[in-house]
Copies of this chain bind each other. A is one copy, B any other.
Amino acid sequence: MSTLQGNVLVAQGGGPTAVINQSLVGAVLESRKFPNVDRVYGAQHGVRGVVNEDFLDLTETTVNNLEAVANTPSSAMCSTRDKPDVDYCQDIFRVCQAHNVRFFFYIGGNDSADTCRIVHEESAKAGYDLRVIHVPKTIDNDLKVTDHCPGYGSAARFVAQAFAGANLDNRALPGVYIAVVMGRHAGFLTAAAALARRYEDDGPHLIYLPERPLSKEQFVGDLKAAYDKHGRCVVAVSEGVSDPSGQAIASQFTGGEKDAHGNIQLSGTGALGDLLSSWVRNETNIKRVRADTFGYLQRSFLGCVSEVDQREARDVGEKAAHFAVSQNKSGSVAIRRVGDYAVEYFLAELKDVARESVEVPGHFINDAGNDVTDAFIKYARPLAGELPDFARISAPAVPKVLNK
């Protein structure tokens, strides 16, 4: 096995997560240990920083600083929504060549994996020896091949803690509470609301994912039934939930802002929650109706992290160094579940992870399309970790005296 000698370049792309800096720091610290690595660079603002040569020399960052950064949410090297085409990737490869970068690690989702794939192909075509590793990251948990994605567990934990609290609030002051959760095409994060339940009648009582169409009739009907049963109702809805025609329900309200990938912006607005509230107000006699949109808190809130997620995010960063620097390979780091709960890491082909994404599989969704199954709970609970403890009062009733 020939050994490449040169520099490492690491960058972070797409939406931040609570643990994305664990991957960064894992990759940096592990890379610095290998004698065939000269310098470890970090590009600012992802691939845009690569083509602009906006690099920091992470060889000269203290371990204390890096460890503090590792525990900090949101991409410390800053990020970008740029989705490079072949020309852009050729620029990336040329910058790598100019800086004798032999190992390029890109922490991101399926678009970032695709960037890695193209950069790897273009450098190979040009005969430049460059090892490219995609390090998985997304709160959406929608990457192919891997069992789950670093970043998801912490976001799932936030969603679960939020619903656990909202359920207690709704129990104290009964009514309808609707919360909109991130997830354009994949409902994994919304599904994590189910982890909030402890007592049998705990909310969320209804969970709607983008994988199943949702009509106004179903929504109002389900909600009335749950409200009649519990005297209250807590609902989790994915921002990407679609009507039976396949149109995202939120898309009609966002003023048409589109992101760099041409997708209609769903987050950063309370419109979907307010629409669903209006359905309840107009179609039922329920008076107290509230809607929240969890928004950016679910991916960046300071101080809500799953320990398993934190550890795995660190590990996939370290494995990037092992696979590229030590084993001279390119690919996408992936997670395989090998126990309850245990994982191991392996290297997937870049082409198998790039571009396409996955949705919540059918056996994780109940037949009515308004809840998740126990199989999902079993899948997700170890990723989010056990929630903080909470309890109801257990006490006997006092006999009435006046009985008015």
Q: Which residues of A contact B (CB under 8 A)?
A: 12, 15-16, 18, 39, 41-42, 51, 53-58, 60-62, 65-66, 68-69, 71-81, 94-95, 98-99, 161-162, 164-166, 168-169, 171-173, 177, 179, 196, 255, 257, 267-271, 273-274, 277-278, 281, 289-297, 299-304, 387-398, 400-404
Contacts and interface: CB of A to CB of B under 8 A. Distances in A.
Given A295-B290, A402-B98, A169 B65 contact: no
B396 A57 contact: yes
Contacts of A391: 65, 68-69, 71-72, 76
Given A268-B291, A268-B292, A398 B56 contact: yes
Contact of A390 (B72, B95, B294, B403): B72
Given A268-B289, A269-B291, A393-B76, A166 B398 contact: no
A42 B395 contact: yes
Contact of A55 (B58, B292, B397, B404): B397
A12 B78 CA distance: 45
A167 to B, nearest CB: 9
7 contacts: A16-B169, A72-B390, A162-B297, A255-B278, A257-B281, A268-B289, A292-B297
A53 B269 CA distance: 44
A75 to B, nearest CB: 4
Contact of A177 (B296, B389, B402): B296
A166 B268 CA distance: 12
B274 A165 contact: no
Given A69-B391, A303-B388, 20 more contacts: A12-B172, A16-B168, A18-B165, A53-B400, A56-B395, A61-B394, A72-B392, A78-B172, A98-B402, A162-B302, A165-B297, A166-B296, A168-B302, A196-B302, A269-B274, A270-B271, A292-B295, A292-B297, A293-B293, A303-B387
B401 A98 contact: yes
A241 to B, nearest CB: 16
Contacts of A164: 302
A393 B74 contact: no
B95 A402 contact: yes
Nearest to A157: B303
The 5 closest A-B pairs by CB, nearest first: A270-B270, A268-B290, A292-B295, A68-B391, A74-B168
B390 A68 contact: yes
Name, among A42, A66, A165, A403, the residue most crowded by chain B CB atoms within 10 Å (CB to CB).
A165
B172 A79 contact: yes
A335 to B, nearest CB: 24
Contacts of A56: 393, 395-398
A172 B271 CA distance: 25
Contacts of A268: 177, 277, 289-292
B300 A169 contact: yes
A58 B292 contact: no
A297 B388 CA distance: 15
B99 A296 contact: no
Given A74-B172, A278-B255, A387-B302, A65 B165 contact: no
A168 B300 contact: yes
A246 B179 CA distance: 31
A56 to B, nearest CB: 4
A389 B305 CA distance: 13
A166 B297 CA distance: 7
B296 A169 contact: yes
